[in-house]
Amino acid sequence: MKKILAIAVLTLGIYSVTSCTAKQATSSTDMEKNDSITATGKVTKIENGKDGYMATIQDTNGKEYVATISIVNLQKSGSTFKRYEVGDTVTVQGPSWKDDQGKTYIKAEQLK
């Protein structure tokens, strides 16, 4: 009787563990949900990275965007990398998402 009970408990335990781990993740990233946007404005801040930089861009209405301008991302989309400086006017296009504070980020796929 003890063996049957032990086997039943073991079988139920294995079933519950495998059924929980076999489920696929249903959440998607914000980047997949949002469309490509275009932002034009003046570069107000530059943060250098290993294969590009992040440029904070302020448009004429005062809205700020943070654009990731990466050599790899631009090459994948057929565009050419260019280094901008604070004060330059830039137009970036690419997928966007917002963080918890409402700041808009753009992965630059085109520079115009």
Quick: pLDDT tens for 31-60: 445 579 999 999 999 999 999 999 999 999
Q: Are 40 and 55 in contact (CB under 8 A)?
A: no
Q: How high is the pLDDT of residue 91?
A: 97
- Which residue numbers in the chain have pLDDT < 70? 2, 5-6, 8-34
Q: How high is the pLDDT of residue 33?
A: 52
3-class DSSP state for residue 95? strand
Q: Identify residue 10 by its one-letter amino acid code.
A: L
